[in-house]
Structure 1
Amino acid sequence: MRHLGLKARMAVVGSILFAFYAVAAVVLMSMFGTGVLPLVLVGSVLFVGVQYKVGKWAALRSVGAEDMPEDRFPGVHRQVEELSAEMGIDKPKLKVARMGVPNAFAVGRKGAGVVVVSEELLRLLDDDELEGVLAHELAHIANRDVVMMVLGQGIASIVAIVAQWVVLLTGDNDLADFFLAIVVGQLVQLLVMVFVLAISRYREYVADSDAKEAIGGGDPLARALEKISSGSQRASESAVDEQVNALCIFGDGSGLAKLLSTHPPVEKRIEKLRA
């Protein structure tokens, strides 16, 4: 089975996320009765579905992504078409954006994917390096790991909202409880996202491996990551927010060290690509 490790990890994290969701549902039923269960189920499905649609739209809008004209970028379109055929997926829509840094990301799923490439990246990379980056992003679509990221974010938001309501409804309903509810909600959401972020780091290694296989070697993507890392460090301004950063080929490793990082260390990724 292809990528058994990724599938197993996604299954484990999915089970943990469901457990968090189940606890939240039980808490709501204990507070409002069993009659609220159908509302919880329907509302949750709608919430995650809307978040998926809105999240995809918001990610594209946040960087000002525009359609990539095929007459202006024939080489990019040709590379994506050939790589898509190699990976057994439909050619995704291609968009270009000014992100302030050289980067790229993919959103959506098989049959409805979108790959966004920054203008800075197009100017920075050679053709074979760009091909490696494109193969990496197509791998995310082929592996459906973007869907897991969105599902995890949705469940984390639901559990956080329930935790906030528990604090508000069991407290004195004063200003202190309001601020406590915000803090508790953020902490609970962070706890759930720790498991999602673990998948996020692993999926980057898998996408690197798939790209290496698709283009016949890992050195072009390794060189691309070196250039992207250097270009991102020199950039003074970036149009990429935190949620989109988690989807990009190169992410900022700052924060609470490795635990909350969306990406593995770029040095390790380069080492694996050149192994």
Structure 2
Amino acid sequence: MTDFGLKLRMAVVGSILFGFYLVAATVISAMWGVSLIPVLVGGMLVLPPIQYKIGKWSALRGAQDMPEEGQYREIHRMTESLARDMGVTKPRLMVMQMGVPNAFAVGRKGAGVVCVSTELMAMLERDELEGVIAHEIAHIKNRDVITMVIGQSIGSIVGMVAYMVYMFADERNPGSIFVGMFVSSLAQLLVTVFVLAISRYREYVADDDARQAIGSGEPLARALEKISRGAQGRESAVDDSVNALCILNADRGLLATLFATHPPTEKRIEKLRG
């Protein structure tokens, strides 16, 4: 069963994000002179699914299906066993060169995808890789990937509306386009703060689910140590939006640290071993 704390956070943050979306839909309705209901319902039925599809496609660009024979046969068997024990359909397995040892999950129950990097498979022992795959399956089981995508979609909508409002109010100012872009970014940042309330906690939950699935937190703890060391001095080849879904966010810039999508690796390892 999904962690109650994660369920509660997703419910609270989801309500707040819907509030942001309701305000944005109201503004669009007023500016275009149309009824609020079609804007509200149409936006929720069209934009998030489109962004979900595009986000999934973008994340998996450059990835290839993992063959079920040869050197990958054992990984498929391991994943099938984990998925069965965790109560989800076996996810599609893909492999990708990411520049760093890493893995991520996209999709939902019944249509999930776990993508692992070639660098990761070359580095980890079998039980460590099992811990990583269990962690990614947990994200699919907990549906937190979909929540993250919807949150990002609402952030984009709020940012777009903020830009339109400012440009409409100050259309005669030649420099208004730059200020409008700043206002848009600020609005998206406000939404992102609430999305982060889920993002960091969901990693702890997925770690704990993986620990329960394989019977020990030690293999995943060792894997996180190796992944962290292996990422040092290397540049990740995946987009920033995908980094947020990875088991380890390889971006170590100042803003990435300030608005970290993941808790500190040291704390995750400590919890797994505690």
TM-score range, shorter chain: over 0.9
The 1:48/1:134 distance shift into structure 2, 3 A limit, reads same
Equivalent position of 1:28 in the other structure: 28
- Provide the C-alpha distance between the structure 2 equivalents of 1:4 and 1:45, rounded to a whole number of angstroms: 27
Contact 2:138-2:209 at 8 Å conserved across structures:
yes
- In structure 2, the CA distance between the partners of 1:50 and 1:106, relative to structure 1 (3 Å rule), is same
Is the Cα contact below 8 Å between 1:204 and 1:264 reproduced in 2?
A: yes
Q: Does 1:261 align with 2:254?
A: no
Q: Using the alignment, how far apart are the partners of 2:174 and 2:48 within structure 1?
A: 30
Q: Distance in 2 between the 1:160 and 1:45 partners?
A: 19
Structure 2 CA distance, aligned partners of 1:199 and 1:36? 29
SS of residue in 1 equivalent to 2:232: helix
Aligned partner of 2:206 in structure 1 is 207
Q: How far apart, in 2, do the equivalents of 1:54 and 1:172 lie?
A: 32
What is the 5 A alignment of 1:40-59?
40-59=40-59
Over residues 172-198 of structure 1, what are the superposed CA-to-partner deviations in whole Å (9 max), with x where a residue is unaligned?
344311111111111100110111012
2:64·2:94 contact (CA, 8 Å) conserved in 1?
yes
Describe the superposition over 1:200-220 as per-residue Cα deviations: whole angstroms up to 9, x where unpaired: 100000000000000000000
Q: How many Å apart are 1:35 and its aligned residue?
A: 2.6
Within 2, Cα distance between the matches of 1:255 and 1:149? 22
TM-score normalised by structure 2 residue count: 0.95
2:19 equivalent in structure 1: 19
User: Equivalents in 2 of 1:98, 1:32: separation in Å?
Assistant: 46
Aligned partner of 2:230 in structure 1 is 231
Residue equivalent to 1:243: 241
CA distance, structure 2, for counterparts of residue 167 and residue 177 of structure 1 = 8
- 1:234 is paired with a residue whose SS is coil
The one-letter code of the counterpart of 2:63 is A
Report what 1:6 is aligned to. Answer: 6
Question: Alignment partner of 2:116: what SS?
Answer: strand
Tell whether the 8 Å contact from 1:159 to 1:188 is kept in structure 2 after alignment: yes
Distance in 1 (CA, whole Å) between partners of 2:155 and 2:2 is 28
4+ long deviations beyond 6 Å: none
- Partner of 1:102, secondary structure, is coil
> How do 1:38-187 residues align onto structure 2 when only pairs under 5 Å count?
38-61=38-61, 64-72=62-70, 73-187=72-186
RMSD: 1.4
C-alpha distance in 2, partners of 1:144/1:41?
Answer: 22
Any conservation in 1 of the 2:25–2:39 contact (CA below 8 Å)? no
In 2, the alpha carbon distance for the partners of 1:36 and 1:261 equals 36
* Greater shift in the superposed pair: 145-154 or 246-255: 246-255
State the alpha-carbon separation in 2 of the partners of residues 137 and 52 from structure 1: 18
CA distance in structure 1 between the partners assigned to 2:127 and 2:226 by the alignment: 13
Q: Contact 1:253 / 1:265 at 8 angstroms: preserved in 2?
A: no
Distance (Å, rounded) in 1 between the aligned partners of 2:74 and 2:217: 20
TM-score normalised over the length of structure 1: 0.95
- What is the rounded CA distance, in whole Å, between the counterparts of 1:256 and 1:69 in structure 2? 38
- C-alpha deviation, 1:75, in angstroms: 1.2
Secondary structure, aligned partner of 1:95: strand
By how many angstroms is 1:231 displaced?
0.4
Identity of aligned residues (%): 61
